[in-house]
Amino acid sequence: MKKVFIIFSISFSIFIFSQEKKNDSLGKILEKEIQEVEIKANKKLVERKIDRVVFNVENSISGIGGNALEILKITPSIRIQSENILLTGKNSVKVMINDRLTQLSGEDLMNYLKNIPAETIKKIEVITNPPAKYDAEGSSGLINIQLKTSKQNAWSVGLHSTYQQANYTSLTEGVGFSYQKNKLSILADLSYRYGKELYTNDINYYYPLEHWKNYMFNKKHINSVGSTLNFQYELSKRSVLGFQYSGTFSDNSTDEFNFNKSYNGINSLSKDYETNGRSFARPQNLSFNTNYTYKIDSLGKKISVDLDYFDTQSPKNNQFNSVMKDIGDASVEKVHAINISNQNVKNYSLKTDFDLPYRFAHLSFGAKVVTTNTRNSVDANLYNIVDYIPISSQSDNFNYTENIQSLYFSINKTFNKKWEAKIGLRGEYTQTISNSISNNQMNKNKYFKLFPTMYLSYKANENNMMFASFGRRIRRPSFWELNPARWYQNPNSYAEGNPFLQPSFIYNIELNYAYKTLLNLNLYYSNATNNFGQLTFHDTQNEQQTFKRLNFAHEKFIGGTLSVNHKPLTWWNFSTEIGWGYYESNPYIDILANNYSGWYGYSNMANNFILNTNKTFLATIYYEYNFPSTGMNSFTAHSSLNIGLKYLLLDKKITLALNFNDILKTNYGTSANETSGIRQNFTQYYDTRFIRFALNYNFGNNNININKRTTGNQEEKNRNN
């Protein structure tokens, strides 16, 4: 297993679960997955199914007094880096609660996971190669957090407060309320976060005749409110109606400082640029979900329908002043910039799923329809401060519409006690229209693609199991990546999107061997065609850098992970993992070389301790080391040492937590690459060294959960971030 046990708190909520424990005769059910839901006293800590790995949290000492994010950090194959959840061999990951996708991503998702008490978690499912039931979008896998069932007719309130001290201070306050009575379940949560965050970046550009040194210093002022409301009503013993709302409202600002010095061939200062300004961002996200589930019989057959609406606004206003000095001729140029932009995304989706376990096999199929409308506006202007004459000006309105219709089917069959197979097929038909008003540029695109999935498992005996899987995925551009308008960082540097970006297609193959719960070996291969990303273009004559989004290469990854989990003593759990891989990229654009290749890897070790007999005093020590990597982008080594303490009071109603993160301040490194023959490197720091103190207080009946609902438009919301 793995990961850190960084201590925590934040937005706190209590969850209700209106589902009763039925007394159906499971002896009549032959379908394997339904049988495995039953709680067994001797259930293994880690289990492997045909398409996922199951970490039984209720059997772990880590499931005491923590939260969902802490549990993820010690779950096999999961890594937490810079507020991102990563799966081995995957770029990113989506999170589900009780088989239902959450509506959050990024920092909002982090805060939400910190609100789920570890005691309410039954198990975590890690799905590295998602089945046909799930959207084909993204090279990432899925994490499914299964909550325990609990008592009906109960209420609960949770209060939380968190203080974090890094270079600057930030605080989070919140309250959660839950209620369950007869057939009705309600969850409401409100949290407020405020404070400051630091970001720095040291940049070097090595031109043939000059060396540019650029230092960025950003201080972000955070002021954000998050809210959720969940409603669920049992219409009958077989049908349930649900409604879910979530919203975030922010009013943030960032103090931005940029210092750029240019040195000639004899290392003498030739130019000096200084830029300072302030940007304002007031993003808001609203999502609504209505869902209906009908249970066809007592053997697990069911139909579910979801209707979703998602709306986001991202207004930004960035203004800065630049002073550019030429040491040679003593000239000075002063520039004032105004960047104003807004993005509005509206997404509608409807999906239905049929889940039909039979004696001969388990069948599932469904359909989904999605419509997304994106409206972008940008005004970017540069002025000479002396006479306020425009140096450059750009105004654009960019509109993008995307429609996707999809169907899927899968079948799962157990042949005997040793062999099991699962195959699926998903088809998606996509139509897009992009329109740049100022460029008088309209692009239309249509394509239909099939996404097969296949799984095979072999159980040699109780201690040895082997698995194989294959799947095809698609990675579509985020909506903002398609906008061609420029966004200036300083007078000499700007970024722009590309309305001609095409999706990338990924093939994934995995092989896995598991020995008891002690050892797990995973090997993977990934082949991505027409991959896209950000590239730097240099105009040495005009001394400008342009950051553009382009399809640029075909890429391959091959690697593996080896994890060991051991419990030397009843109060001590030890886990370690090492991951490695080889990367190869074949670019097809002229500013890059014809071929890049290199190695990458990481290792980590976690020790979790119970320090008293009441299991109320807990400690964790975690260390992770990322090896140097090479390729088109190379990275220097970086590491992180974290120590956490946790104490539970008043029958675990009060939790005190103290966490020391990145104690040695080594969790940052330098990335480097070369475009058009010009070397460049970046050293970014996200202020990861901090001390955090958290206080949580729960009262009422705290042994309750609530069903969270999958939303049908999660893919599109992820692409908005």
For residue 30 the two structure tokens come to 């032959």
Token pair 């990322």 is found at 626
DSSP 417-479: SSEEEEEEEEEEEEEEEEEETTTTEEEEEEEEEEEEEEEEEEE-SSSEEEEEEEEEEEEPPPG
Long-range CB contact pairs, 31-35, < 8 A, 24+: 31/299, 31/300, 31/357, 31/358, 31/362, 32/362, 32/412, 32/414, 32/420, 33/357, 33/362, 33/412, 34/299, 34/300, 34/357
Task: Check if the beta carbon of residue 7 is closer than 8 Å to that of residue 644.
Answer: yes
DSSP letter for 629, please.
B
Cross-strand partners of 640: 624
In angstroms, the Cα distances linking 256 to 19, 201, 223 are 51, 12, 17
DSSP string, 74-137: TSTTEEEETTEEEETT-S-EEEEETTEE-S--HHHHHHHHTTSBGGGEEEEEEESS--TTS--B
Distance CA 272, CA 279 (A): 23
Residues of the chain with pLDDT under 70: 1-44, 59-66, 81-83, 88-92, 100-108, 111, 115, 117, 119, 140, 149-152, 702-721
Q: For position 491, what pLDDT does the model report?
A: 83
Query: What's the whole-model pTM score?
Result: 0.83
CATH placement of domain 26-719: 2.40.170.20
Task: List the chain domain ranges.
Answer: 26-719
Structure tokens at 698: 């729960």
Residue 148: DSSP 8-state: P
The amino acid occupying position 708 is: K
H or E stretch covering 72: helix 68-73
pLDDT for position 105: 62
Rounded to whole angstroms, the Cα distance separating 108 from 161 reads 17
CA 501 to chain centre: 22
Dig out the tokens for 276 from the structure: 């300072």
